[in-house]
Amino acid sequence: MEVNDSALQFTDQLLKDDQKLRDANLEVNSLAEQIRNGYSIKNAHINSRYLKVRDFLFSIAKSRIRVEDKFSLYNSIWLDEYSASYSTPEIIGRYRAGRVSSRNIVDFGAGACMQAIMFSENNDVTAIEEDPLRANLGRLNAKAYSCKGLKIITGDVNTYISNTADANITVFADPLRLSGKGEKTFETLKPNPQRIVQDLGSKVSGYVIDLPPLFPEKNISLPGEREYISLNGRINRFSLYSADLSKTERSAVILPVSRRIEGTRDMLEYEHSEKPRRFLVVPDPALTYAELVNTVFDPSIYSEFTKDNRRLVLTADRITQDTVLGEIFEVLGSSAEGDTRRELEKLKPGRVIPRFSMNPDDYYEYARSLIDPLWVGESIYLFRSNDRVVLAKKIKTSLN
C-alpha cells in the first residue's frame, strides 16, 4: 500500500481525538450514501476541512459499501481497497477465534487487523504490519470494536522475529499472494509463513496459516489439519492448523449454516452415470476442496454425472438427509445442445443459469439467447454432459 503522508497524518489525528474520529466517520458515511446515489469523486460533496484527504475518504467510503455484508460494524471500520477485498469476513474470523483461545498470538502481516481483532476477544494478540497507514487503519478498527487484548506494531516481520523475547507464540499469518503464474509455494507468499515458523524455532507453540484455496497441498511441508471454509456457497478460506490445534486430518466448514465435517481424504471413486437420475447434487465447495465428499454423499447412493475444474455434479434417485451440505436440483428434462431453446419454451423461465464451464465472456450472451424477455417462470439451471443439456430446477441449497 503506497503511503499517503496526508492520510497517515490524518489517521494519526483521528487516533488521538475521539471527536475528530466521530466527525470523520459521519463524513465517510455521507460519502458512502452519495456513492450509492450515483455520485462520483468529482461531484460528491465533501466538507472543506477534508479536502486534503478527499481521495482517501472516498476510497474508505467505497470500501464500507463493499463490506457491508461482511462486517457488522461496516459503517465504522476503516479499510483500503485491498483490505476490503481480502480481509477475513467477520463470521469466519469469529469462527476461527472460537477454535483458538487463551493463546499468545502474533499476527504477522496483519493488514487492517480484522482477524487480529476477532482473535483478541479470547487471546492476547500482537499484530505486526509494516505499512504505516494500514497499521493505523488497524488501530482505528480496533477502536471501533473496543478491543482490549490487541497490540499493533508498525514494523518489519523479520525485525520483530530477531528482537522478540516472547515465548509460547502462536503464529497467525494470512500472507499476501505475490503475482506470477507459476505454481504456488510458500516462497510465493509474503511474508513466508514457513520461514516465520522456522526462524522463531522453539518460541513457537502453534500456528494457524491461511493459504490460497488452490494452494497445492503437495507443497505444504508443515504438518497439521487442513481446513477449508465456504461462505454462502463459495470457497473462502484454506487454513493449516498446527498439530496441537488440530482436531482431525481434514475438515470442511460451511457457513453461515455452521456445519463442520471432519474426516480423511476421499478414497472411493463414484461410478459414472451417462444419464441424469431424478436429482442432481452439487456438493458444497468446502467438501469438494477438502476431499470429504464421500463422508456426506454415500457412493453407494450417488453417482458422478459430470466433473470439471470448478465443480462435481452427482446424481441420485433419492435424496438423503445430509444434502443440506450441497445444492439440490430436480431434473425436468434434457435435450441435444441445439434443441435447448425449444425445451425451454415449454417452461418459459424468467432466467436460465448455466452450471458448466464456459468462456466467461460468452456466459451472459449464451444465457440471454435461450429465453424470451416476456417469460416470467422460475429459474432453470442447465448442466451439460457431452452433447446433452440437462434442465433442472433448484429445490434446496446449503444456505436454507
User: For the segment 342-378, what is each residue's pLDDT rounded down to a tens digit?
Assistant: 999 999 999 999 999 888 889 999 999 999 999 999 9
Residue, of 324 and 275, whose pLDDT is higher: 275
Same domain, 61 and 90: no
Same domain, 15 and 100: no
Examine residue 255 and state whether it is found in any structural domain, yes or no: no
Examine residue 266 and state whether it is found in any structural domain, yes or no: no
Same domain, 332 and 373: yes
Residue, of 230 and 165, whose pLDDT is higher: 230
Expressed as residue numbers, the domain containing 129 is 84-247
Is residue 221 a contact partner of residue 207, using CB atoms and an 8 Å limit? Answer: no
Examine residue 265 and state whether it is found in any structural domain, yes or no: no
Listed residues 247, 266, 291: the one ending a domain: 247
Same domain, 169 and 202: yes
Same domain, 60 and 172: no
| Residue/partner pairs of 18-22 with CB below 8 Å, 24 or more apart | 21/140, 21/143
What mean pLDDT do residues 138-161 have? 95
Listed residues 247, 268, 296: the one ending a domain: 247
Taking all residues of the chain, what is their mean pLDDT, rounded to a whole number?
Answer: 93
What mean pLDDT do residues 67-74 have? 97
Same domain, 317 and 210: no
Question: By three-state DSSP, how is residue 277 classified?
Answer: coil
Same domain, 61 and 88: no
Task: Looking at the chain, list the stretches that DSSP marks H as alpha helix, in order from N- to C-terminal side.
Answer: 5-16, 18-36, 54-66, 81-86, 90-99, 114-119, 132-144, 157-163, 193-200, 285-290, 293-296, 340-347, 360-369
Planar angle of CA 222, 227, 230, nearest 5 degrees: 145
Examine residue 260 and state whether it is found in any structural domain, yes or no: no
C-alpha 110/C-alpha 108 separation (Å) is 6
Cell output for 74: 461496516
Same domain, 176 and 241: yes
What is the full DSSP assignment across 367-395? HHHTS-TT--B--EEEEEETTEEEEEEEE
Same domain, 380 and 352: yes
Same domain, 340 and 216: no
Residue, of 276 and 397, whose pLDDT is higher: 276
Examine residue 262 and state whether it is found in any structural domain, yes or no: no
Question: For residue 322, is pLDDT > 70?
Answer: no
C-alpha 304/C-alpha 360 separation (Å) is 25
Number of domains forming the structure of the chain? 3
Same domain, 89 and 48: no
Examine residue 363 and state whether it is found in any structural domain, yes or no: yes
What mean pLDDT do residues 19-48 have? 96
Examine residue 264 and state whether it is found in any structural domain, yes or no: no
Same domain, 243 and 284: no
pTM of the full predicted structure? 0.91
116: domain CATH number is 3.40.50.150
Cell output for 331: 431434473
Examine residue 49 and state whether it is found in any structural domain, yes or no: yes
Give the pLDDT score at 311. Answer: 87
The C-alpha cell 476421499 sits at 266
